[in-house]
Amino acid sequence: MPQPPALLNQICYAIDAGLLAIDRDENIVLWNRWLERRSEYQELHIAGLPFAQAFPAMAGSRVHQAIQAALSQGLSSLVSQSLNRQPFPLFVETNRFDRNPMQQAISVIPLNCEAQRYCLVRIHDVTAAVNREQELQRIAKVLEQHSFQDGLTGIANRRAFDQQFLMEFRRALREEQPLTVVLIDVDHFKAYNDLYGHLAGDECLKRIAQKLRKTLLRPADMVARYGGEEFAALLPHTDRPGAESICRALCQAVLAEGIPHQASATAPHVSISLGSVTLTPTRQLAPDFLLNLADQALYRAKQAGRNQVCVISEAEALQACLAA
């Protein structure tokens, strides 16, 4: 049974979505109350205008193309908010004085009425959903950043170091450039904890971490907390003399921080030992091999009396690689 026009008009104006009808000549024939309340257009003024004249910024847009496809070919379309870079000039009212652009999901549906082709454009306000998705993405990004950050010291953690190390190793392999890995250990840290307590120990690690980070001046250099009182550093594009110079600067910077350590058999203040290895990676060289060599160098530095740097030369490293 055909429905009375008055009833259909009431439905169009009561529905909680924007309804825009366009005839075969692309003239606007319907602009419902939902759209009136969320735009600067009243149906009285916009009805009868060509679509491209009413919305010149949307001429040739994906929405306009979808309207033309519906009128000429009878094709339905769904234009998502993410793909629709030129939506209708609609607004969300957050208060009386503040109107924000509306995020829109738009569907275009061909209609046939009395042997005439029309198309219906249906617009849904998805602003809240988009804002929620953006907030979730922001939270996820923050959580990801925290997952690569050491909770105590605020510098990169072991996970971040491992990921960055593999990336820098592959880059050095491609570019045939040297890569330096440094392992750092706080001297007599257990004795420090036993004497001053764990809270003081935590504060000590924080100060050392920040001093190490500030001493590494190049943006590509990285320092991370490797575990417990151990730190690790990556020095891309750094040869052995450069690595040795940086390591000595790190060693001196921590000692100059002047953190008292009466239980140390090495120095009156907290000191560090560093083991460094520099290699130009080859396809025969496993990434872990550099870490093992750096660990050996650190062991030598501690055996030699601590508060010093031990650097394994590239020749020695290559010899160890051939012997492995």
For residue 66, the model assigns a pLDDT of 93
CA distance 116 to 23: 8
Q: Residue 57 gets which letter from DSSP?
A: G
Per-residue confidence (pLDDT) for residue 12, from 0 to 100: 77
Other beta carbons within 10 Å of 320: 16
Terminal-to-terminal C-alpha distance of the chain: 88
CB 208 within 8 A of CB 266: no
Contact by Cβ (8 Å): 148, 240: no
The residue annotated as part of the active site, out of 26, 114, 176, 229, is: 229
CATH 3.30.450.20 region(s) of the chain?
5-131
Cβ atoms 265, 190 nearer than 8 A: no
Q: How many other C-beta atoms lie within 10 A of the C-beta of residue 28?
A: 21
What is the predicted pLDDT for the residue at 3? 47
CATH class entry, domain 5-131: alpha beta
229 annotated active-site: yes
Give alpha helix (H) positions in 87-239: 127-147, 158-175, 189-196, 198-215
The Cα–Cα gap between 85 and 66 comes to: 14
The pLDDT of residue 2: 47
In this prediction, the residues of the chain whose per-residue pLDDT falls under 70 are 1-6, 81-86, 93-97, 143, 321-324
Contact 293, 277 (CB under 8 A): yes
Measured CA to CA, the distance from residue 103 to residue 5 in angstroms comes to: 31
Distance CA 235, CA 211 (A): 16
Query: What is residue 56's DSSP assignment?
Result: G
- Please state which CATH number belongs to domain 148-323: 3.30.70.270
Q: CATH 3.30.70.270 region(s) of the chain?
A: 148-323
